[in-house]
Amino acid sequence: MTSRFSWPRLPLLALALLITWVCFPKRYNVFPLDDAYIHLSYVKNLAETGSLCFNPGEPSLGTSSPLWVVFLVPFYMAELDMYWTVQIANLLLLGAVCYLATDIMRTLAVPLCSSEGETTAWSLFPGLLLALNGNVLWFALSGMETMLYLCLCLVSFKLYLQKGFDHVTGFVSGLVFLARETGLVLALVFIAADFAHGRFRSLGKGVAAMLLVTSPYLWLTVRLTGDWVPSTARGKLASYVDGGLDWKRIPKADLHNEIAIQGLIEKRILREDVTSHDHVLFCEDIGTESELSERLHAAGIPNDEGLLAKWRVTHRNHVYWYLKTAFLYQRYQPHNWLLMAVVCASLISLSSVTGGSRQGISSYFLGRSVGCSLLIAWGLLHLSLHAVSFRTLLHNTRYLADEYLILAIVGPLGLVGFSRRYPHTTRLLAGIALLVCGCGLFYWREVYAHNIKQVNDAYIQMGNWIRQNTPEDARIAAFDIGILRYLGNRYTIDLGGLVDSSVIPYLARRECGEYVRQRNADYLLYSRNLEVDYFTGLYLAEYQGQRLLKQTPVVHFETPQYPAPVLLHSFRMDLTRVTGWFEPTAGGIQRAFSYDERSFKVINKMVDDRLELVGCDIDQRVIELIPYYPYGVNVVFFFKARQHLGGFYWIHLALFDSDGNLFYVFTHVPTHNLLPFDQWPVGQIVQEHHLLFAPTPMPKAKFRVRVTVNRVPYLDRSRIDELPWYELGTFENLGNTLHPMDHQQLMCFR
């Protein structure tokens, strides 16, 4: 590369990158996501014990990037500050990514440009697109391995353009795989290209070098997990794909409550058999419509065509789901539509490079610029991998960072071709692309500021509290485990399957209660929002299993919700103490539903001369509506039997609109009859917890929450006003969140 390209323009690129990096807010020791601290936990343990482990003394592969861990270990051993080490290292790696993108662009643009000056100017464009891309800056400030991975991807790509897939390229491709397992896609593209060109000798050397680099890690993976697939990937699949977000189950509904709940509750069908006083909670897939009809009948639920029509199972394919999710994601980032439009126009105009003929296009892609073909093949194959198997688009696109590299190079290549016919229009398009990226910086700066505030106010505070207030030998089960282990410094039981794959069978069934009991957890840490409550299914352990779970709230930390292009389940962290596991015998069930001294909203109303509704506790969080998930809230009721009950009662929890009309009612038997009414202890408080789901869609309006308890299983809606309703509070549906209303708002509402 000539000095004319390298130095006069590199300061401009470095200056743009430095300015954007400095403009992003930072908070010491706070990264924008919990996963970054998983890496740091592995770094700490590898440096101190010499073993790749999350909990000291237990080897595991819970890091998605063993190379990133090994890369950071020397800095930890040198006792450097890990926060600034990670941030500065990622800044330098981002600079290398921008530089390599310009270098590769120059190589690919030479056949298209008429002069050295034109080549030099266009080669700078990909670096600027990346430096001004707020999402890429988010990657660089996330504390994750993304920049190391992207840098190695470009190094391997540059080596392939120079040497093909020889031993050097194979060695670097092995490092790409160790930086992130999806790097295998790029290596497969190289191997396929060399195989097609008949370069078998060098290809053999490259494959051998790659296997030499990766074989120790693959051997360790098989030894620790019994599978070639790392536990991190299996855990993500079990949480986000194989369970609630299964494309074959969108949408379905909660049979018992006759409301359309999408995608989740089909595995949770509740039956209260009032004839035999039996409690059955079973978990099965709904299956076909005929099977659905049979189960409705078996559960004693009215089986009419209107109800079946409400519940008809709709099957959708992978591509539809993925594209719909992609459009949903873009809704949060309107500036990306413009950028994507420019890129699409560039790709279409690439045909002008060759005059639009089929022979010309083939000559360019397969001859003069096979590199462009490799980039496009890499992007399509990588995107297809996620569309078919992973489908985790809503994570600030951190699993699709490869696509930014590809678009940043292929898009400008199209503009180069377009400029040969329409030079003035091309300059305008190039300026628009840079302007759009620059405008996006403000959006991503705000997202990053919210992210680090959320992590600090909820995660960091919880981690520090746990370290200061729990016994050193405490065992804590959690879905988000990074900060708990790194800052809380307590033995961590992974409920997400990232570190320990033994939880995955329980996670796939959404029933982790038995796993938590077997692992002897002392505390449960909830990343409190509906999808994580559902992922682990711990709430079910209070009603089913070999032992019944009893847990008591200890402390919680929370942060206000905000719109963001990511599935967020950590606006509030709840720590509960496991107070016991009880056998489902008469005495054990009574102890499982006994009062645990928690505070609650006092009602103290007599239902009749036998039963008193003592109070209720409704989770006062703001509830976010997540795509394909219903609204859900945790509710605890407190009852006291004044004498032997002698029969069934039903709780009717209702939502009324601002005009006093009944909008929805959720009806169930206290404790779902797990504690039979003839066994209720007289004079003692019975406490029962529920995860309740609201109907969707809901109108944007204010709602009053009321409850009544009686011996009638179905309410006569014509006589609703005659029932004794007890006020529990109010909330407002703002379209994407449910907001509890404070006391002053409640008074105005009335």
The pLDDT value recorded for residue 166 is 94
Residue 477, beta-bridge partner list: 493, 524
Neighbour tally for 314: CB within 10 Å: 10
Q: Does residue 467 fall inside a structural domain?
A: no
Amino acid, res. 699: P
| Residue with tokens 């509904």, as numbered in its chain | 253
Tokens of 390: 């992973």
Q: Does residue 501 fall inside a structural domain?
A: no
Q: Do 605 and 705 belong together in one domain?
A: yes
Which of these three, 407, 424, 448, is where a domain ends?
448
Q: Do 94 and 132 belong together in one domain?
A: yes
Q: Does residue 13 fall inside a structural domain?
A: yes
Which of these three, 414, 448, 482, is where a domain ends?
448
The pLDDT value recorded for residue 469 is 98
Greatest mean pLDDT among 177-186, 438-447, 538-547 lies in 177-186
Q: Does residue 330 fall inside a structural domain?
A: yes
Q: Phi, psi (5° rounding) for residue 658?
A: -70, -15
Nearest to 637 by CA among 711, 556, 728, 724: 728
The pLDDT value recorded for residue 295 is 53
Q: Do 69 and 207 belong together in one domain?
A: yes
DSSP state string for 627-674: TT---EEEEEEEEEESS---S--EEEEEEE-TTS-EEEEEEE-GGGGS
Nearest to 321 by CA among 269, 246, 256: 246
The pLDDT value recorded for residue 423 is 75
Q: Do 207 and 267 belong together in one domain?
A: no
Please provide the average confidence, as pLDDT, over all residues in the chain: 77
Could you give the CA distance from residue 606 to residue 610 in angstroms, rounded to a whole number? Answer: 8
The pLDDT value recorded for residue 536 is 81
Whole-angstrom CA distances from 415 to 130, 617, 739 are 16, 60, 48
Residue 600: give its domain's CATH number: 2.60.40
**Collapsed DSSP state (helix, strand, coil) of residue 499:** coil
Nearest to 142 by CA among 478, 482, 465: 482
The whole-model pTM stands at: 0.82
Q: What is the mean predicted confidence (pLDDT) over 618-644?
A: 74
Tokens of 617: 């506790």
Q: Which domain holds residue 423?
A: 3-238+321-448
Tokens of 17: 């990158």
Q: Phi, psi (5° rounding) for residue 563?
A: -75, 135
The pLDDT value recorded for residue 373 is 82
**Collapsed DSSP state (helix, strand, coil) of residue 313:** coil
> 3-state secondary structure string, 371-384?
HHHHHHHHHHHHHH
Which of these three, 430, 448, 466, is where a domain ends?
448
Q: Does residue 265 fall inside a structural domain?
A: yes
Longest dimension (CA), the chain: 96
Sign of the alpha-carbon torsion through 514, 515, 518, 523: negative
Q: Does residue 151 fall inside a structural domain?
A: yes
Could you give the CA distance from residue 503 to residue 536 in angstroms, rounded to a whole number? Answer: 10
Q: Do 38 and 112 belong together in one domain?
A: yes
| Residue with tokens 């030894």, as numbered in its chain | 223
466 contacts 480 by C-beta, under 8 angstroms: no
Q: Do 24 and 140 belong together in one domain?
A: yes
Neighbour tally for 141: CB within 10 Å: 25
Q: Does residue 230 fall inside a structural domain?
A: yes
Whether 280 has a pLDDT exceeding 60, the answer reads: no
Tokens of 376: 């496009």
DSSP state string for 199-223: -HHHHHHHHHHHHHHHHHHHHHHHH
Q: What is the mean predicted confidence (pLDDT) over 49-60?
A: 92
738 contacts 626 by C-beta, under 8 angstroms: no
Q: Do 107 and 230 belong together in one domain?
A: yes
Question: How many structural domains is the chain composed of?
Answer: 3
Q: Which helix (H) or strand (E) holds 102?
A: helix 82-109
Q: Do 208 and 267 belong together in one domain?
A: no
383 contacts 400 by C-beta, under 8 angstroms: yes
The pLDDT value recorded for residue 298 is 53
The residue among 624 and 594 whose pLDDT is bigger is: 594
The pLDDT value recorded for residue 615 is 92
Could you give the CA distance from residue 579 to residue 34 in angstroms, rounded to a whole number? Answer: 28
DSSP state string for 678-720: GGPPBTSEEEEEEEEE--SS--SSEEEEEEEEES-SS--GGGG
Residue 475 CA, chain-centre distance (Å), reads: 24
Could you give the CA distance from residue 489 to residue 467 in angstroms, rounded to a whole number? Answer: 6
Q: Do 637 and 741 belong together in one domain?
A: yes
What are the residues whose beta carbons fall under 8 Å from the beta carbon of 457, sequence distance 6 or more?
Answer: 557, 558, 559
pLDDT band at 87 (very low <50, low <70, confident <90, very high): very high
pLDDT band at 515 (very low <50, low <70, confident <90, very high): very high
Q: Do 94 and 130 belong together in one domain?
A: yes
The pLDDT value recorded for residue 265 is 31
Q: Tell me which of 43-47, 370-374, 553-557 is least confident.
A: 370-374
Whether 38 has a pLDDT exceeding 90, the answer reads: yes
Cβ density class 269-306: b for 16+ within 10 Å, e for less: bbbbeeeeeebeeeeeebeeeeebeebbeebebeeeee
Q: Do 255 and 221 belong together in one domain?
A: no
Torsion over CA of 485, 486, 489 and 491, rounded to 10 degrees? 20
Tokens of 286: 């709904």
Sign of the alpha-carbon torsion through 738, 744, 747, 749: negative
Q: Do 279 and 388 belong together in one domain?
A: no
Could you give the CA distance from residue 498 to residue 239 in angstroms, rounded to a whole number? Answer: 10
Residue 548, beta-bridge partner list: 582
Q: Does residue 245 fall inside a structural domain?
A: no
